[in-house]
């Protein structure tokens, strides 16, 4: 019987990990050593999407799939699980978390589905063997980007009622945190204390984003993209102007303002 492409990919992974005839680099890898590559591949998938590079997306999804195969092979070698267990697990999870599709339940909107999804996940956490020790913060990955993880933690806290009643309270807290940063700068200039206060300020800003249904990670990514676009435009103007070979800060600020005005016209 002809092998499926997935089976062929599993065979390739098996050959790469063969201690006698495989690739020395692949044989040496562990969960821990390839974890950074898995994260990198996920980011490259997101980057291809951001650039609307569909051909690149196909390629990057293949790389990400290979990471799943890689982890599954290591798990099989160590006697934990095999690739098919991963597939069965996600099938069961998707059916379980979509009762409105695979059973009699119904939802009115995507927002309602998001709430239902989180309710199901919360019940699943309570049903684990460690349910007595389970926290609302359990299973929020440490490897998430900082803004994403902060927003996830805040959402978990909000689900049990630990949340700001209104955005006004968050805005007041932001003002308070800014004052605390200023106070540290004026009175101590202790780097660790300043870092801590800036972290608190960022955390509250993420809370504001969450409260307004804004994805903090996406918002900052777009702000960075806007900054880069304007900076490159400013650089281009400076390079074209013979009188601005050594621009002052005032020159750059003036051109920056011009670039911003041009974007809005």
70 and 13 share one domain: yes
Judge if 162 and 226 occupy the same domain: no
Asked if 202 and 233 sit in the same domain, the reply is no
Q: Reply yes or no on whether the pLDDT at 180 is more than 90.
A: yes
Distance CA 177, CA 66 (A): 44
Q: Is residue 79 part of a domain?
A: yes
Residue 177, Cα to own-chain centre: how many angstroms? 25
The reply to whether 78 falls in a domain is yes
pLDDT at position 97 over 90: no
**Residue-level pLDDT at 104:** 73
Give the residue numbers spanning the domain of 178. 151-214
Mean pLDDT for the stretch of residues 51-58: 95
Question: Does residue 55 lie within any of the structural domains?
Answer: yes
The pLDDT-based confidence of 112 (bands split at 50, 70, 90) is low
Residue 160 confidence (pLDDT) above 50: yes
Q: Is residue 247 part of a domain?
A: yes
Per-residue model confidence as pLDDT tens digits over 131-155: 445 688 877 888 888 999 999 999 9
The residues near 13 (Cβ < 8 Å, ≥ 6 apart) are 66, 69, 70, 73
Is 49 domain-assigned? yes
Q: What percent of the chain has pLDDT over 90?
A: 68
Q: pLDDT: is 18 or 104 the higher one? A: 18
Are residues 12 and 87 located together in one domain of the fold? Answer: yes
Whether the CB-CB separation of 97 and 118 falls below 8 Å is answered with no
Residue from 87, 226, 205 nearest 147 by CA: 205
Q: Is residue 68 part of a domain?
A: yes
Q: Does residue 140 lie within any of the structural domains?
A: no
Q: How far apart are CA 185 and CA 87, in angstroms?
A: 53
Give per-residue pLDDT as tens, 201-253: 999 999 999 999 999 999 999 999 999 999 999 999 998 887 777 889 999 99
Q: Does the pLDDT value for residue 2 go beyond 90? A: no
Total count of domains within the chain:
4
In whole angstroms, give the CA distance from residue 180 to residue 140: 28
In a domain, 121, yes or no: yes
Here the CATH number for the domain that contains residue 200 is: 1.10.287.1080
Q: Which is more confidently placed, 177 or 51?
A: 177
Closest CA to 70 of 44, 40, 42, 35: 35
Taking the model in full, what pTM does it have?
A: 0.67
Whether residue 114 is predicted with pLDDT greater than 90 in this model: the reply is: no
Asked if residue 254 and residue 223 are part of one domain, the reply reads yes
Contact 226, 256 (CB under 8 A): no
Distance, CA of 23 to CA of 168 (rounded, Å): 58
């Amino acid at each position: 019987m002809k092998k499926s492409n997935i089976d062929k990919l599993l065979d390739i992974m098996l050959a790469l990990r063969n201690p006698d005839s495989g690739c020395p680099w692949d044989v040496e890898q562990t969960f821990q050593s390839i974890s950074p590559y898995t994260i990198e591949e996920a980011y490259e998938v997101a980057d291809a999407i951001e650039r609307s590079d569909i051909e690149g997306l196909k390629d990057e999804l293949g790389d990400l799939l290979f990471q799943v195969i890689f982890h599954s092979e290591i798990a099989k070698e160590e006697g934990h699980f095999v690739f098919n267990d991963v597939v069965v697990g996600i099938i069961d999870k998707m059916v379980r978390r979509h009762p409105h599709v695979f059973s009699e339940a119904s939802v009115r909107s995507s927002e309602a589905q998001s709430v239902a999804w989180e309710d199901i996940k919360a019940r699943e956490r309570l049903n684990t063997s460690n349910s007595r020790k389970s926290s609302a913060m359990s299973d929020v990955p440490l490897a998430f980007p900082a803004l994403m993880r902060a927003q996830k933690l805040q959402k978990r806290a909000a689900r049990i009622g630990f949340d700001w009643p209104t955005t006004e309270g968050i805005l007041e807290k932001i003002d308070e945190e800014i004052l605390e940063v200023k106070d540290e700068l004026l009175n101590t200039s202790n780097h660790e204390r300043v870092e801590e206060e800036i972290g608190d300020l960022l955390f509250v800003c993420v809370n504001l984003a969450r409260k307004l249904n804004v994805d903090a990670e996406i918002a900052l990514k777009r702000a960075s993209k806007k900054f880069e676009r304007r900076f490159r435009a400013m650089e281009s103007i400076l390079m074209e102007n013979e009188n601005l070979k050594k621009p002052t800060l005032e020159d750059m600020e003036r051109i920056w303002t011009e670039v911003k005005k041009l974007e809005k016209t």
